[in-house]
A and B are shown apart, each in its own frame.
Chain A
Amino acid sequence: MSSSGPGNVGIVIVSHSPKIAEGAADMVRQMVGDAVPLAWTGGDVDGGLGTNVAGILKAIETAWSPAGVAILVDLGGAETNSEMAVEMLPEGRRARVLVCNAPVVEGAVIAATESSGGSSLAAVKRSAEEFYA
């Protein structure tokens, strides 16, 4: 579910479906490699489709990097729960976690590619969001 590379922006994948989240993470690992901290989470607390704040917080912790963390989400609740999770972070970390407005799979691969080159959190987010530009 995770692994790390110091210094590079971490990537968190949040989907209503754990299979989608895990699959997107697989794509990132295979296409981009291991130089980027990465974690995924999906499903509600009962194991159904949905997202949960605790799971997102845990994923942020797993993918944490001093350079920050970019979160890729799918629909509605994934975004609001991710924003809630960011609000619950210690104050020093809050500003270093950003939710990207990008498609979850493509955005995760692009964000990780950008991160693997040592780019800043802002550059990682900008690159992922180019998909909708």
Chain B
Amino acid sequence: MHDANANRAAQTFVPLTASAVLVNPVGLHARPSVKLTQCAKGFAAKIEIALAVDGPWTDAKSPVKVMRVKAPQGATLYFRVAGPDGKAALAAVLALVHDGFGEA
């Protein structure tokens, strides 16, 4: 139900995109993945990540999928966000990456 709402929201909002470099030493490993998905789940917007500007895109609200991205330190993480609270969502996930997920 939540996903359906997110999809509906995504259709009516122009996706916002941004990127940030992973600064924390081990990249997007288990703990940062959990933090990212928890952060993403706090927003209604559809939030996706990718290691390249044109994807493939991964649902940032799925902890298993985010861990499978295996983004290393120094990688550029691209975000694509669409939804009513997309702007706030994008700011929140970017802040998390810039902050090294609190462990840099």
Judge whether B62 and A117 touch: CB under 8 Å: no
A118 on the B face (CB < 8 A): yes
The residues in B between 76 and 90 inclusive whose CB is less than 8 angstroms from any CB of A are none
B23 nearest CB across to chain A (Å): 20
Q: Which residues of B contact A (CB under 8 A)?
A: 2, 30-31, 34, 37-38, 41-42, 61-65
From DSSP, what is the main secondary structure of chain B's interface residues?
helix
CA distance A114 to B65 in the complex (A): 12
Among A32, A113, A130, find the residue whose CB has the most chain B CB atoms closer than 10 A: A113
CA distance A114 to B40 in the complex (A): 11
Judge whether B64 and A127 touch: CB under 8 Å: yes
A116 on the B face (CB < 8 A): yes
CA distance A130 to B41 in the complex (A): 17
CA distance A114 to B33 in the complex (A): 12
CA distance A109 to B65 in the complex (A): 14
A-B contact count (CB 8 A): 33
A29 nearest CB across to chain B (Å): 12
Among B31, B37, B38, B63, find the residue whose CB has the most chain A CB atoms closer than 10 A: B63
Judge whether A116 and B62 touch: CB under 8 Å: no
**Residues on B with beta carbons closer than 8 Å to the beta carbon of A110:** 63-64
B92 nearest CB across to chain A (Å): 14
Known contacts A117-B38, A130-B65, then 5 further A-B pairs from the complex at CB < 8 Å, ordered by chain A residue: A32-B34, A117-B37, A117-B42, A127-B62, A130-B64
A31 on the B face (CB < 8 A): yes
Q: How large is the interface on A (under 10, 10 to 19, 20 to 34, 35 or more residues)?
A: 10 to 19
| Known interface pairs A31-B30, A109-B30; A116-B38 also in contact (CB < 8 Å) | yes
B88 nearest CB across to chain A (Å): 16
| Known interface pairs A130-B62, A130-B64, A131-B64; A113-B37 also in contact (CB < 8 Å) | yes
**Residues on B with beta carbons closer than 8 Å to the beta carbon of A130:** 62, 64-65
Judge whether A127 and B63 touch: CB under 8 Å: yes
**Residues on B with beta carbons closer than 8 Å to the beta carbon of A131:** 64
**Residues on A with beta carbons closer than 8 Å to the beta carbon of B64:** 110, 127, 130-131
**Residues on A with beta carbons closer than 8 Å to the beta carbon of B30:** 31, 109
Can you sample 17 A-B contacts with CB below 8 Å?
Answer: A31-B30, A31-B31, A31-B34, A32-B34, A32-B38, A109-B30, A109-B34, A109-B63, A113-B34, A113-B38, A113-B63, A116-B38, A127-B63, A130-B62, A130-B64, A130-B65, A131-B64
